């Protein structure tokens, strides 16, 4: 019996809402696999989840509702009767929101069977992983209680911007809030978006990581951490360090919309490293130095325009250097080069972010640059069929709406 | 133009007696300190100025890396140094000719009267070809004053450095002897392809050959272009380096080394290693025609390194690894198509990696990126070469790639206004063509006529019985120049077999191995012009000699 809904006088929770940001890699992608440091940062593009729990008990009987997921952006709804869930997961269901645990093979098999019920359109076969993660998180945190979750996102999928992590974090956030395992502070009169306490964020993050493992196999954990905690995080050999980034940085993210095979790209870098071990070891060292430097720079407070400009110049130079090293690794692409060339015309510095081979490109927009410049470069990039997002980098993590 | 030849008739021909002691055919490697005041073997003054060609150089990337050079490029230098005294003597007096430089590609001629040179350089002139020495500040100041005489077109202010180098090399090696040098080149200038080094190397080669300080080898290639012996190449290289220092300030030395020695050279911390490159590599060089400030680019990298010492140290390490790997790969022999393709794949990957590192250093440019993008469409790998910021880009052309691919990519690159050169990388270095060097022709009917040993010279001390050569008149000198023009533009065989020996043009009479002072007053007539017949017969004699017949010194006492 869940601690909240079972309370006498409980009228049923209001809809719970949460939003979790996507992320970009500022430096260190690929090299991070080989032991170098990397820096990831939150961006103000969100995945928003909401959850409405159906009141239990009254009248339902065996027909005690369903668990629904509505993906607003694609207009798809998926639904499992609670009885079906109970039947499939059986003994597995001992919702224990306070103790994040990996999805066991049996659970995963059961979830796979549950998915077979659904009609997943052929073109959207990637949905399976996300749906599996949803079912796992939902049943692990809330058991088989009826409820409806709605998800919508600003983030393009599969573009390297952490959309799956943002999904897992925002979903875990609403599920844990609905379960009463985390709560937004009691203070504050006005309604609004709140940040959870550190311990609660940890809990969300751990659950989100388990969800990510279902979607990605062996994720680094940096995506969900950045989405949960926000700001910037340095990541090296499994160790995460939160960075106190000051002065939000404005960037343009250009989605080339060129899909790529991340596994193949990562493997390609490893193969090049095996053919040229010395050279590539030095390349990874250089990337590590860049990430370490970047980590220091973002924590510097810059009070006036001169300091801000100086900080941004350093950032830009590090981005440019990292881009050259990524080209050395062989993960660039003609579409990425097109973005680079275009932004260069406006004296803007860019670097690919993520796996490369297409995907997204970051462009630093200096604080003192004229809006007209930004407009022009966006127009030109969009003329190539790319999609542009103006973002602020290093901002907030998971927020829950207190209604 | 040969001022002397223009002024005098028979008997008035002036020749400086060759100053160098005769040498045996197994030459000592360096014509060193014994080289007395320069007087080139007289044959130089007769039809057949020596011409040398030095290939271009692809300089290394900014950190130490292997460099290779292209055979296609040739900075050709044609040197006509008619003999005359280096010092005032009879007749001509102070008006004893001029030193001229004709830059054929730009149509510019520069000329300094010998008297002016003597006056300006004064005590400085002690032409010592065997001892390369830097240009002293005084010399440089003097040269600067000499340049002021010339009208250097405003748009071509870069000429000054080249002219200074020319004057320095010329006067250091040949003193104030009148002469005319003609230079033409396949190489674009200021594009990072080593045009200044090729100029210095070919000029030094010609000057030293005219001075008799170096000479071509005993074998006679079919084309007539000869490679000097290692020691002679060293001498050329050292002089060329001094010339480079005038043009560039603090050159690395690799440009002139590659231009001199050819093939490929690995260069690290001042140390040069010649690489035995096998399997010529075909490449496309694209000149973006974007000028750039090399100093600024180099400084930019240093500044980036000072801002990011750790990262850039790793970048330089990576480039070092790439260069070392490349040095090994080029020395592998690849016998079959599979091996060749495998070798080229490795080269391409190293080039791609190096390009990324150069981008990391910040020396790329939008024009370079355009070339990269274009060649990438055809699955070809490219990297900038040299300073970056514009300049040239190399594209590897795999042996097995179809010609049509090369044609298409060239067309597309040219549509951007770039200039493309198809080149072969890792070929020959400096070559000398001692064109029309005249053999003993004084006595065509002499049964014992034989070619001289290399370096052997004779000086007539009795001129009456020797026929004199026709004066080197403007027409016949010009016609020879035409022949040379012809040669300079096509890689053709010489019309006559080049001999490997110098000839006083006089024949029998001569002194032995004593060095001749430049104040030798003997008037020596010219030998008859090398016509095809007499050259051919001499070539036979030369071949004869090449079989290592015993070659004696000729000395004044014997009557051969």
Instruction: Quote the pLDDT of residue B476.
Output: 42
Q: Do B356 and A321 touch (CB under 8 A)?
A: no
Query: Which of B357, B363, B365, B373 is best to mutate for the A interface (most A CBs within 10 A)?
Result: B357
Considering only CB atoms, B321 lies closest to which of A279, A293, A341, namely: A279
At B183-213, the pLDDT tens digits run 999 888 878 888 899 999 999 999 999 888 8
> How many angstroms separate the CA atoms of A196 and A228, rounded?
10
Task: Kindly state the average pLDDT of the residues A95-105.
Answer: 88
Q: Where are the domains of chain A?
A: 16-56+63-239+396-402, 245-393
Instruction: Quote the pLDDT of residue B499.
Output: 34
Task: Kindly state the average pLDDT of the residues A84-112.
Answer: 84
Strand partners, A242: A233
Q: Which of A364-378, B144-158, B460-474 has the lowest mean pLDDT?
A: B460-474
Nearest residue in B to A269, CA atom? B353
Would you say residue B32 lies in a domain?
no
- Checking if the pLDDT of B154 tops 90, the result is no
Min Cα separation B414/chain A (Å) = 20
Instruction: Quote the pLDDT of residue B48.
Output: 32
Note which residues in 319-378 of chain B have CB less than 8 A from chain A.
Answer: 321-322, 325, 346, 349-350, 352-362, 364, 366, 369-370, 372-373, 376-377
Task: Kindly state the average pLDDT of the residues B247-253.
Answer: 86
CATH of the domain at B157: 3.30.230.10
Nearest CA-CA partner of B4 in B32, B45, B39, B37: B45
Segments forming the whole domain that contains residue B342: 76-81+97-434
- Measured between beta carbons, which residues in chain A are less than 8 angstroms from residue B358? 324
Chain mean pLDDT for chain A? 89
Overall domain count for chain B: 1
Question: Is residue B31 within 8 Å of B214, Cβ to Cβ?
Answer: yes
Catalytic residue set of A: 223
Nearest residue in A to B376, CA atom? A334
Catalytic residue set of B: 255
Considering only CB atoms, B322 lies closest to which of A279, A324, A341, namely: A279
Query: Which of A290, A321, A331, A338 is best to mutate for the B interface (most B CBs within 10 A)?
Result: A321
Instruction: Quote the pLDDT of residue A28.
Output: 95
- Checking if the pLDDT of B60 tops 70, the result is no
At B13-39, the pLDDT tens digits run 333 222 233 333 333 333 333 333 333
Angle at A108 between CA A104 and CA A112, to 5 degrees: 170
Q: Which of A91-95, A269-273, B76-80 has the lowest mean pLDDT?
A: B76-80
**With pLDDT > 70 as the criterion, what percentage of chain B qualifies?**
58
* Per-residue DSSP letter, B547: T
- Checking if the pLDDT of A337 tops 80, the result is yes
Question: Is residue B286 within 8 Å of B413, Cβ to Cβ?
Answer: yes
Q: Which of A93-97, A190-194, B77-81 has the lowest mean pLDDT?
A: B77-81
Nearest CA-CA partner of B549 in B428, B452, B424: B452
> How many angstroms separate the CA atoms of A297 and A312, rounded?
9
By a Cβ cutoff of 8 Å, what residues of chain A touch chain B? 272, 275-276, 278-280, 282-283, 285-286, 289-290, 292-293, 314, 317-318, 320-330, 332, 334, 337-338, 340-341, 344-345
Q: What is the largest CA-CA distance in chain A?
A: 71
Nearest residue in A to B377, CA atom? A334
- Measured between beta carbons, which residues in chain B are less than 8 angstroms from residue A347? none
Task: Count A/B contacts: CB-CB distance under 8 Å.
Answer: 113
Residue B155: pLDDT band (50, 70, 90) is low
Q: What is the DSSP string of B523-538?
A: B-PPPPP--HHHHHHH
Would you say residue B137 lies in a domain?
yes
Nearest residue in A to B355, CA atom? A328
Q: Do A282 and B317 touch (CB under 8 A)?
A: yes
Min Cα separation B359/chain A (Å) = 5
- Checking if the pLDDT of A280 tops 50, the result is yes
- Checking if the pLDDT of A284 tops 60, the result is yes
Q: Do B314 and A276 touch (CB under 8 A)?
A: no
Would you say residue B34 lies in a domain?
no
Query: Which of A35, A273, A283, A319 is best to mutate for the B interface (most B CBs within 10 A)?
Result: A283
Would you say residue B534 lies in a domain?
no
At A267, list the tokens. Answer: 């493997």
Q: Secondary structure of B220-244 in the HEC alphabet? A: CCCCCCECECHHHHHHHHHHHHHHH
Would you say residue B131 lies in a domain?
yes
Question: Is residue B469 within 8 Å of B15, Cβ to Cβ?
Answer: no
Would you say residue B62 lies in a domain?
no
Instruction: Quote the pLDDT of residue B76.
Output: 53
Q: Do B356 and A280 touch (CB under 8 A)?
A: no
More confident residue, B488 or A228: A228
Q: Do B353 and A317 touch (CB under 8 A)?
A: no
Q: Do A328 and B366 touch (CB under 8 A)?
A: no
**With pLDDT > 90 as the criterion, what percentage of chain A qualifies?**
68
Q: Do A282 and B321 touch (CB under 8 A)?
A: yes
CATH value of A245-393 in 3.40.50.10890, 3.40.50.300, 1.10.600.10, 3.30.70.890: 3.30.70.890
**Fold matches, A16-56+63-239+396-402 and A245-393:** no
Q: Which residues contact B201 (CB under 8 A, 6 or more apart)?
A: B52, B54, B75, B236, B237, B240, B256, B259, B260, B430
At B506-556, the pLDDT tens digits run 333 333 323 333 333 333 343 444 444 444 443 443 444 334 444 344 444
Residue B292: pLDDT band (50, 70, 90) is confident
Would you say residue B39 lies in a domain?
no
At B379, list the tokens. Answer: 């699955």
A16-56+63-239+396-402 has CATH 3.90.1170.10 classification: no
- Measured between beta carbons, which residues in chain B are less than 8 angstroms from residue A325? 315, 356-357, 360
Instruction: Quote the pLDDT of residue A55.
Output: 76
> How many angstroms separate the CA atoms of B55 and B57, rounded?
7
Considering only CB atoms, B318 lies closest to which of A275, A279, A327, namely: A279
Cα dihedral sign, A140-A143-A144-A150: negative
Would you say residue B40 lies in a domain?
no
Q: Do A280 and B373 touch (CB under 8 A)?
A: no
Chain mean pLDDT for chain B? 69
């Amino acid at each position: 019996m869940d601690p909240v809904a079972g309370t006498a006088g409980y009228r049923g929770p209001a809809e719970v809402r949460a939003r979790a940001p996507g992320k970009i890699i500022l430096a260190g992608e690929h090299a991070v696999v080989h032991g170098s440091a990397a820096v990831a940062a939150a961006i103000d593009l969100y995945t928003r989840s909401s959850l409405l729990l159906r009141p239990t008990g009254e009248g339902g009987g065996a027909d005690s509702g369903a668990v629904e997921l509505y993906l607003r952006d694609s207009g798809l709804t998926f639904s499992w009767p609670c009885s079906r869930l109970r039947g499939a997961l059986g003994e597995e269901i001992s919702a224990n929101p306070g103790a994040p645990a990996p999805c066991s093979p049996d659970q995963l098999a059961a979830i796979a069977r549950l998915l077979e019920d659904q009609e997943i359109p052929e073109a959207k076969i990637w949905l399976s992983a996300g749906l599996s993660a949803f079912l796992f998180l939902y049943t692990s945190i809330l058991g088989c209680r009826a409820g409806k979750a709605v998800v919508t996102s600003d983030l393009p999928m599969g573009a390297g911007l952490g959309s799956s992590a943002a999904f897992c974090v925002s979903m875990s956030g609403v599920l844990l809030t609905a379960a009463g395992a985390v709560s937004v502070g009691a203070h504050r009169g006005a309604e609004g978006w709140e940040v959870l306490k550190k311990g609660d964020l940890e809990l969300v993050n751990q659950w989100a990581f388990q969800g990510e493992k279902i979607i990605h196999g062996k994720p680094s954990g940096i995506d969900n951490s950045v989405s949960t905690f926000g700001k910037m995080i340095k990541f090296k050999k499994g160790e995460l360090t939160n960075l106190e980034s000051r002065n939000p940085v404005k960037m343009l993210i250009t989605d080339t919309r060129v899909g790529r095979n991340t596994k193949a790209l990562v493997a390609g870098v490893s193969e090049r490293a095996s053919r040229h071990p010395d050279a590539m070891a030095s390349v990874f060292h250089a990337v590590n130095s860049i990430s370490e430097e970047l980590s220091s720079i973002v924590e510097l407070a810059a009070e006036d325009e001169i300091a801000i400009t100086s900080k941004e110049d350093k950032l830009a130079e590090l981005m440019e250097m990292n881009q050259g090293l990524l080209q050395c690794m062989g993960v660039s692409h003609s579409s990425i080069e097109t973005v680079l060339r275009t932004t260069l015309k406006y004296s803007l510095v860019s670097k690919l972010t993520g796996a490369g081979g297409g995907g997204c490109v970051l462009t630093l927009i200096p604080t003192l640059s004229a809006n007209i410049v930004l407009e022009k470069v966006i127009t030109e990039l969009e003329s190539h069929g790319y999609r542009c997002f103006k973002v602020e980098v290093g901002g907030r993590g998971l927020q829950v709406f207190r209604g | 133009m040969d001022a002397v030849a223009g002024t005098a008739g028979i008997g008035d021909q002036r020749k400086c007696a060759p100053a160098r002691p005769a040498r045996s055919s197994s030459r000592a490697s360096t014509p060193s300190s014994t080289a007395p005041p320069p007087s080139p073997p007289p044959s130089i003054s007769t039809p057949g100025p020596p011409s040398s060609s030095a290939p271009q150089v692809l300089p290394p990337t900014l950190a130490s890396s292997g460099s290779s050079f292209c055979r296609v490029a040739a900075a050709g230098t044609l040197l006509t140094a008619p003999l005359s005294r280096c010092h005032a003597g009879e007749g001509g007096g102070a008006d004893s000719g001029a030193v001229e430089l004709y830059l054929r590609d730009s149509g510019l001629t520069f000329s300094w009267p010998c008297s002016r040179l003597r006056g300006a350089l004064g005590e400085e002139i002690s032409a010592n070809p065997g001892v390369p020495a830097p240009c002293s500040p005084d010399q440089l100041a003097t040269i600067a004053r000499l340049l002021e005489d010339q009208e250097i077109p405003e748009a071509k202010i870069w000429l000054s450095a080249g002219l200074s180098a020319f004057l320095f090399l010329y006067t250091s090696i040949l003193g104030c002897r009148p002469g005319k040098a003609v230079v033409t080149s396949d190489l674009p200038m200021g594009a990072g392809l080593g045009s200044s080094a090729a100029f210095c190397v070919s000029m030094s080669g010609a000057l030293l050959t005219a001075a008799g300080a170096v000479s071509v080898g005993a074998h006679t290639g079919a084309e007539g272009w000869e490679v000097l012996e290692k020691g002679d190449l060293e001498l050329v290289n050292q002089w060329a380096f001094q010339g480079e220092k005038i043009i560039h300030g603090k050159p690395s030395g690799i440009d002139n080394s590659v231009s001199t020695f050819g093939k490929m050279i690995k260069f690290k911390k001042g140390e040069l290693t010649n690489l035995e490159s096998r399997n010529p590599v075909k490449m496309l060089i694209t000149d973006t025609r974007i000028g750039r400030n090399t100093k600024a680019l180099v400084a930019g990298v240093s500044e980036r390194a000072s801002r990011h010492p750790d990262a850039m140290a790793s970048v330089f390490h990576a480039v070092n690894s790439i260069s070392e790997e490349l040095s090994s790969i080029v020395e592998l022999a690849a016998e079959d198509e599979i091996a060749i393709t495998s070798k080229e794949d490795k080269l391409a990957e190293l080039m791609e990696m190096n390009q990324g590192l150069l981008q990391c250093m910040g020396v790329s440019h939008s024009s370079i990126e355009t070339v990269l993008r274009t060649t990438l469409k055809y699955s070809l790998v490219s990297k900038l070469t040299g300073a970056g910021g514009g300049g040239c880009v190399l594209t590897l052309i795999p042996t097995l790639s179809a010609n049509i691919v090369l044609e298409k990519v060239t067309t597309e690159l040219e549509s951007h206004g770039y200039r493309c050169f198809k080149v072969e990388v890792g070929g020959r270095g400096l070559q000398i063509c001692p064109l029309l060097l005249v053999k003993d022709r004084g006595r065509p009917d002499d049964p014992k006529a034989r070619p001289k040993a290399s370096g052997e010279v004779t000086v007539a001390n009795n001129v009456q019985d020797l026929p004199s050569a026709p004066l080197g008149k403007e027409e016949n000198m010009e016609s020879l120049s035409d022949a040379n023009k012809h040669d300079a533009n096509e890689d053709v065989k010489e019309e006559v077999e080049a001999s490997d020996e110098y000839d006083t043009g006089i024949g029998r009479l001569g002194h032995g191995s004593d060095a001749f002072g430049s104040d030798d007053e003997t008037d020596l007539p010219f030998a008859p012009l090398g016509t095809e017949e007499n050259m051919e017969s001499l070539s036979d004699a030369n071949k004869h000699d090449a079989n290592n017949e015993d070659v004696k010194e000729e000395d004044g006492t014997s009557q051969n």
